[in-house]
Chains A and B, each alone.
Chain A
Amino acid sequence: MAVQRIVVDPITRIEGHLRIEADFDNGKIVNAFSSGTTFRGLEKIMEGRDPRDAWAFVQRICGVCTHIHAIASVQAVEDALGITIPKNADLIRKIMTATQFVQDHVIHFYHLHALDWVDVVSALKADPKATSTLAQSISNYPKSSVGYFTDIQNTLKGFVGSGQLGIFANGYWGHPAYKLPPEANLMAVAHYLEALEWQKDIVRIHTIFGGKNPHPNYLVGGMACAINIDNDNTINMERLDLVAREINKAIDFVNQVYIPDLFAIGSFYKDWGFGGGVTNYMSYGSLADDKTRNTKDAVFPGGIILNRDLSKVMDVDPRDPEQIKEVIDHSWYDYTGDKGGRHPWNGETTVKYTGPKPPYQQLDTAGKYSWIKTPQWMGKSMEVGPLARMLVGYARGNDVIKTSVDGALQKLGVGKESLFSALGRTLARGLETKIMVDYLKTTYDALLANIKAGDSKVFEQSKWDPSTWPKTCQGVGFTEAPRGALAHYVKIDNGKVSLYQAVVPTTWNAAPEDQQHQKGPYEAALIGTPMADPQKPLEIIRIIHSFDPCIACAAH
């Protein structure tokens, strides 16, 4: 049989518009192309604006990982202007970052990824009693009675029976790649609904400090939420108590629902070892101590791993023009002059579309085929994200991460090599969510201790006024976003932004190939995967979802 081109567009249950074209031959994917099909031009729009306003624009790069772009942006501007933010502001930002991780990862697991592993229709056949037994055997989560699961199942039956399947319509139900017994499916469906209800609560931590979620508010130089424990219109005990309550609920939810489900579902799929992809991993590191600012021993350590070799970690420096470069060999952009890779401080976003005019059936994958650029570290494609963070942390010997990863592998009864797969990514995401809820608690305690010690400062005023700024300067804000390494680069000229470049986690992961046909992480992960039915792309979306794509992020 000739090679068959499979097109999956839209890839759903992700953020944004991703198109996958894959060549299918002999039951397997033999080549794959990842294309981001939307572009907004935010980097261009930033030019000429007040750097203090930048966060509000670039935060809108994405509403799913809302918050993290704003953080990268204020950090970039603070880096350029030489501002050190007050301790309270640093702690609040860290609490908000951890909150973002927890909410985003839980949503991803249940609402974006679960239906790749969980067959909703099979849940109709489950015995609620057996489901209850299963649930109680893995967790002490209180909602686990027979009655509870019976109710959920009846709701589901009524729903399916109505003939209007809504978001579940046309799913790949009954596909041979689904492996869970009906009871596990029913439990997962119940927790799909629980998670939906819970996630709206945890983000209230953002609402307290940033006024709303999605898209809370920030400030170059600190935070805008004044702390005055003796005032009714500021951060006071009632506000902090709400934060504490949500943190406790989050700890319970992650420990009693997410983590047990992850292992329960994972144990049925541990043989499905596909989706490994590129073998290089990168983390910038984040949540470092505010004094040392050393990302190597941060909560998420920074570093590079090549060829899956966990015995060696290299350092990564986002400022180094030799290390980080974006190439555009297969992206719809042009560079003036030298067409080679560019470090972001020297970056450029000039569109040059060469693809087919819509409506089209197929992209010209020999030429340019995506709105996503191709970032590289020392000329190599890098996978970023939870798996990269866990691997780098492991290789750096970070205790928390090491214990967590070793424990998980032991529990599943698999070796380290199992991590290099779609499932490995999904596991890593769960493990770091657990690390993040614990971190939420300790950081909250640190904030309280600092306020108790008499410090209520949240904003550094000294460099607010543009007249105090150097005539020209440049900065970078780098951090870890839920989906991986994120960096914003800014240049400021006479008080105005003269260049803005964002290199975003999904830019790394969803990148098209480079001139030497070195594949991007999505593309590489798909190659070699067998498909039961090329018309039903369940295996493709499974692997792609394991990265948690965000295309608005990737192409901005």
Chain B
Amino acid sequence: MNETFYQEMRRKGYSRRDFLKMCGLLTAVLGLEASFTSRIANALETKPRLPVIYLSLQECTCCAESFIRTAHPLLSELLFNMISLDYMETLQAASGLQAEEAKMKTMQDYKGHYLVVVEGSIPLNDDGIYCTIGGRSAKDILLEAAQNSVAVIAYGSCATNTCVQGAYPNPTGAVPVKNIVAHVPVIDVPGCPPIAEVIAGVIAHYLTFDRLPELTNLGRPKAFYNHRIHDNCNRRAFFDAGMFVENFDDDGAKQGWCLYKVGCKGPTTYNACAITQWNNGVSYPIKSGHPCIGCSEPGFYDNFPMYEHLAHVPITAMPFEPDKIGKWITGLTVAGVAAHGVATGVIKRLDKEPRKDEEAGK
């Protein structure tokens, strides 16, 4: 990590005396009583809190809303003891130029040592006009901030898979962070939004163990995204038993049965909901009776209609479901085969008739 302020002063040739004197001055400037000097000295001698630049790009801010709901660590613990949130539009005091200056300062002072958290996708169509901040395009802003960061956390489904705005026909040409950032590690923390304790946990993991978390084959921290919802679901026993909610609020629903047949995407969704649960362990969508909509999965908004097990054929935005396509394929095949059979018979008969004529003619 970065050297401490004290180390930096020593490197520049100042003595410890100079350092303490400076601390005293700082105390006075801040209008604190003299006893505070030693605390300040202590703060400047220890590791600086991890500087974090939180970029909000093309998004709905639910990820930030989720972030501030973290219960362990509490946001205040995170902000006061663990990180230095030097830029986050949603919370920071300064606006406009002053806000941008704070960001520039962190990027310069902590070159190679700050973390970037990105909420939101990057719209590339039409020179990036669909998301500008301070007159600059989202892409520019992201590239600049990412360049000298330790890593970029793509936070939320917008940043990892473009979420709703990337749904067909993706009018703004939204792309996820990993399509833009190439030279520093990108950690995907998907979900719409992700669970608060998950994002806080990813940051705390990095701070505590001094290394980035291990990732799954989909590029997400194993610690939170290793299992599907389905593998830890509280309704799983009903799935295995074959006891399904057929319609909302039916008898099965009133017994808490499995939501598979009303379109639950738990079997194809990697997220921590069933284990960590939401809002400090209160519930998660399935527990509260609604099927999982797969909000952490790529393209989940084109995997609809929502209330069917398998709906549209993914990625294609074709309005057909596999079984419908399958039945058509089979139907057409049977029809084709039947037609071919009939044609065979007819041609065979026609074939034979001239032969008879020929024979008669002979």
**A residues within 8 Å of B by Cβ?**
7-17, 19, 37-42, 44-45, 48-50, 52-53, 56-57, 60-64, 66, 107, 111-112, 115, 120-121, 124-125, 155, 157-172, 193, 196-197, 199-201, 203-204, 206-219, 221-228, 231-234, 242, 351, 353, 355-362, 371, 456-459, 461, 464, 535-537, 540-541, 552
Q: CB within 8 A of B44: which of A162, A234, A459? A: A162
User: Once the chains bind, are B249 and A208 in contact (CB under 8 Å)?
Assistant: no
Q: How far is the CB of A342 from chain B (nearest CB, A)?
A: 19
Which of A120, A169, A207 sits near B283, CB closer than 8 Å?
Answer: A207
- Contact partner of A57 (CB less than 8 A), chosen from B91, B167, B273, is B167
- Say yes or no: B58 contacts A124, CB within 8 Å: no
- Interface check B86, CB cutoff 8 A: yes
Is A164 a contact of B84 with CB atoms below 8 Å? yes
For the A-B complex with A37-B132, A217-B293 known, give 5 more contacts whose Cβ atoms are closer than 8 Å: A13-B89, A37-B131, A40-B164, A60-B60, A164-B49
Q: Is the CB of A158 within 8 A of B126?
A: no
Question: 7 closest Cβ contacts across the A-B interface?
Answer: A63-B62, A233-B256, A171-B93, A41-B171, A211-B285, A211-B288, A217-B290
- 19 A-B pairs within 8 Å (CB atoms) are namely A10-B99, A13-B93, A17-B133, A63-B59, A63-B65, A111-B68, A158-B39, A167-B88, A167-B93, A197-B74, A204-B279, A211-B278, A212-B278, A224-B290, A228-B256, A355-B129, A457-B249, A458-B248, A541-B95
B176 within 8 A of A: no
Contact B254 A228 (CB under 8 A): yes
Chain A residues whose CB sits within 8 angstroms of the CB of B273 once the complex forms: 212
Bound-complex Cα distance A233 to B304 (A): 26
Judged by a CB distance under 8 angstroms, whether B216 is at the interface is: no
Given contacts A196-B68, A207-B282, A459-B248, contact A233 B95 (CB under 8 A): no
A50–B91 touching, CB < 8 Å: no
A214 touches B62 (CB 8 A): yes
Q: Contact check: which of B60, B80, B98, B234 meets A63 at CB < 8 Å?
A: B60
- Closest A-chain residue to B259, C-beta based? A224
Check B239 for interface membership: any CB of A closer than 8 A: no
B165 contacts partner chain A, Cβ-Cβ < 8 Å = yes
A119 to chain B, nearest CB (A): 10
- With a cutoff of 8 Å between Cβ atoms, the chain A residues found around residue B102 in the complex are 169-170
B319 touching A48 by the CB < 8 A rule? yes
> Which residues of A lie under 8 Å from residue B71 when comparing CB positions?
200
Chain A residue contacts of B154, Cβ below 8 A: none
Minimum CB–CB distance for B308 against chain A, Å = 9
Complex contact A162–B43 (CB within 8 A): yes
Contact of B93 among A49, A115, A193 (CB under 8 A): A115
Closest beta carbon of chain A to B207's beta carbon, Å = 14
The yes or no answer to B128 lying at the interface (CB within 8 A) is yes
Complex: how many Å from CA A158 to CA B273?
A: 36
Does B230 sit within 8 A of A, measured CB to CB? no
